[in-house]
Amino acid sequence: MEVKVQQSELSSEIGRLLRKHFGKGPESIFVTIASPYVIIYLRQFLSPIENMLLEDDHTLTVEEIRDKMMRKLNNKIIEIIHSVTGLPIKEFYYDWSFQNGSGLLVGVEEKAEKFFEYNYPNRCEVETLVAKISAEAEKHPDVTYSHMLNERTFVVIREGILVKIEEQLIELGFEEALTLAKRKLEKKLLFQDKALFQYHLQKDITEIFVSWDFTLDKSIIVFILSPKK
């Protein structure tokens, strides 16, 4: 099956699943299949109840509900990705931008490596900047690498970022609270250096998503880009 056909089919299947479980699906879904990644970008994905809660400043409540729902849907989404693409997905990440009503789902297949065919100019500068931000938030990553999948999708992977207190919180069952705290902190730091990222990437950044796999001590950052005019 051609990649464009897979992307279209995956968009339809994911939209159907989200409508079934959230009561409202995204108005648009953009899928990027670039081995080892499957990136699913959701636009205008907020239910009427979520809108009401957000208007009343209950953002944390909406995040908690979304996270609980996604934990139930993770395996189903991985199954759908595998069914459509044939890719053996090992890792799954997700994040939301309630301000923009958008979201991101990411599957990473088992053979994930440092794919150099996704190279780009100023790679060293960008990865150094990400590592600096990580050090501000928790610690300098053991490994940092990045991939420019296409002109609109840029991915950064970090490995070895958890500090001892975070590991203890996870062991005590505070994974959800830690996720919410890290999401808020890291996005704030990333957006603070948005202009510098745009300078190195030579593209405008429209959205930034961040997610973690605490079991693997691994994190993914995805920048949604638009070419500079």
Q: Which two tokens mark 31?
A: 């899928």
- Residue 68's H or E segment, with its range, is helix 59-85
User: What pLDDT, on a 0 to 100 scale, did the predictor assign at position 110?
Assistant: 78
Distances (CA, A) of 66 to 35, 49, 84, 94: 27, 12, 25, 10
User: What pLDDT, on a 0 to 100 scale, did the predictor assign at position 164?
Assistant: 95
Largest CA-CA distance found in the chain, in angstroms, rounded: 49
User: What pLDDT, on a 0 to 100 scale, did the predictor assign at position 228?
Assistant: 62
User: What pLDDT, on a 0 to 100 scale, did the predictor assign at position 24?
Assistant: 87
User: What pLDDT, on a 0 to 100 scale, did the predictor assign at position 135?
Assistant: 95
User: What pLDDT, on a 0 to 100 scale, did the predictor assign at position 31?
Assistant: 96
User: What pLDDT, on a 0 to 100 scale, did the predictor assign at position 115?
Assistant: 58
Q: Which residues of the chain have pLDDT under 50?
A: none
Torsion angle defined by CA atoms of residues 136, 138, 144 and 149, in that order, rounded to the nearest 10 degrees: -80
pTM of the model: 0.93
User: What pLDDT, on a 0 to 100 scale, did the predictor assign at position 15?
Assistant: 95
